[in-house]
Structure 1
Amino acid sequence: MNDSNYCPHTPQEIQEMLSVIGISSMEELFAPIPSELRAKTFNIPPGLSEFETYDKMKTIAGENSSDMVNFIGGGFYDHVIPAVVDHLSGRAEFYTAYTPYQPECSQGTLQALFEYQTSICRLTGLDVANASLYDGATACAEAAMMALRITGRNRIIVDGCVNPFSRQVLKTYLYNLDVEIIEVPPLDGVLHQEALKLLLNDEVAAVVVQNPNFFGSIEDFSSIVGQIQSVGALVVASVYPISLGLLKTPGEMGIDIAVGDGQCLGNPLSFGGPSFGFIAAKKASIRNMPGRIIGETVDKKGRRGYVLTLQAREQHIKRHKATSNICSNQGLCALRGLIFLSSVGKEGLVEMARLNRDKAEYAKARLAGIAGVSVLQTAPTFNEFTLFLPKPAEAVVGALMKKGIVAGVPLSSYFADSENALVVTVTEKRTKKEIDLLVKELEVALCS
């Protein structure tokens, strides 16, 4: 240990703590961590001044490629963000606000989050929503835990078309619980409904689906929802909020709980975060919903006011009866979602959704015209679709990156026998010129 390190504990104190937990050294403490995952050293270089640190960070940031044409999706999307989103969310009264436990001095934040909840309810067609979750994947896991509490059962069925990241987070959340998770393998990029039906019984707490799914396929779950609910199970649907400008809402399908990621609602990509997750449900489920819930009321003079409501569900009131220990309430990111939806408006959201769909259809048709390339889906798609290439997708993506194009997400890391599969995403930001460039360079890459 060198003199530049700071450690508040003496060697004697460290040894005492190790003795209490029954080990003899720090090396033994970290032994369960695989060697390849351990830090090589904890000795850090001497500190830098503010100017030196800023200059170093600029140098590192300059190594990033910032002018790539982006056709990546898979849960995070390159959408337009109106300037008003940055302007309003950057105001100090919002930017510095904390969880509004004291309503008398938090009315602005409370009203904003109440309006956010209202927007999510209108977007999903469901009755109640909370004031945001960490991200879309954790929202999916929280919804599954809601279903476990509501039904008292211990089995979750997950469609294999659900985003792999959400499925992994779900497994992590439920790892130490006595819960069985069963995945239904995809069938041509959609839910294998016949396989699902064979698994339905009175032990199933919930079935988790996604629309549009990870392959980009759109599905109307209306017909299967009733069959799932007939055995007493709930239906959890992960949805892409921009797509709801065109698609049937979860409420219209009869779905019990809707979740999703709000990154596409006014939050930049930012290397994958921060974002916010949303969750909406039928009113009967509200006491099992995790997180903050803002309610509208009146004070003793009859004036409208806002408060945190149903707080007996939360850990700061009844820890042992809390529905979840959600400390990472993404209030500022959720506020950006509200400002985005308010500025775009109902008709604007419909127009944005149509642009996504129409541009993706143009790209799909052009790309499918390349020799050796085919489209997975027979089902309709929104702004993502899966291509089968005559070459390994990772190699093709690598070749196109040298041309300034990020062509999509290779599926080989997530699904077996998918070495040549590529998910391509086209948002409203992609121009005809950029799509045509993708087609041209993909054709070159496949012929070389």
Structure 2
Amino acid sequence: MNFISTRHASPPATLSQAIAAGLAPDGGLYVPETLPAARVLAPGRDMAGTAAALLLPFFEGDTLAPELAAICREAFDFPAPLRPLATPGDHVLELFHGPTAAFKDVGARFLAASLARLRRDAATPLTILVATSGDTGAAVAAAFHRQPGLRVVVLYPDGRVSPRQAHQLGCFGDNITALRVAGSFDDCQALVKQALNDAGLQQQAPLSSANSISLGRLLPQMSYYAHAALSHRARTGQSLNFVIPTGNLGNALAAIFARALGVPLERIVLATNANRVLPEFFAGAGYTPRASVATLANAMDVGAPSNFERLRWLFGGDDTALRNAFPSASVDDAAIREVIARRYREYGEVHCPHTATAVKVLEDLRAQGETGDWAVAATAHPAKFESVVEPLIGREVEIPPALADLLARPAHADPVPAEYAALRHAILAG
């Protein structure tokens, strides 16, 4: 299978080439030349088995194809359980049982396993650039830590991630460099894209991306939706609907791709925080990226979601059809706080701010008469947001062992302005 740019001004690439490059030469995002046809799928014994079957059409004919099963086993070595919520028919898909307690571990570990194989005999190290609004950077750092021939530069908005997230981002050292940028996530993302499109810099220091603009991050994220939906269908005979908290749109797009491939997902609803670019578009306004605003659900503080370009490609640029396909709703900080406190008080549930955003949207859907089986994607462990969650529930949140280990390490991040020259210097100095 070949992969093309959403902007149609770059030559087709193989999967390995697309994963290694991150961004297409014309600045677009890589997408399959054609999506594989929908097919009848069955759940594997575990998520790794489901993933290998689901991803096979994308890998056919590529040099990584013989390695696919091994890559999946390396990447998906932790559970993603679908658990019932208090309301009958409601579930939560827990995606936070990986080494950095966030769903980003899935895609980051898959990408690292893929690039480690692609760069096995490379003479020059590859620098992975990643902009993060909280969780992506730590997942990428953990996945690539001490991987030979690979280094990582993480950019995050200074003061706009939780204290524990910031500690994770700076606690690795070795081949991981953390930069705290005096700006927003959108500034960080723009700097990464500028570097990836800098041909002169690429000649001196080969670069790739580990944001959800990378196919190596996006494609494997289909796997947990597929495994949950297929297992639920096999167990109950029912299809799942999903509410997905989203910022840069990668997580939601993975579910949308999975559905197109034949996974039994019905409705997919996009939940956002007070950054309303997506809800406004889906309500009929033009797509108008703008500066992000800081919220309690900081990983969704995105004002220019990169994967919107892929979503438009999937619908052939037909915005009317796109709007008809995906409801989207915005939840402000006051409602996030209320949901966290009330769900704990009434049901003993403890949710991170992002998961609480999706729970609120699901509650509203139920109040409007929605039926069927629904699941919320729980994207991070609440212990990563203790300064928000603990005052609302009145107790400490137990820290998962893997997260506790990271928090026990010393951490350091270099301050930089939101200027490209500063990033370029940091890359070349590394």
TM-score with structure 1 length normalisation?
0.31
TM-score with structure 2 length normalisation?
0.32
Which structure has the larger Rg? Answer: 1
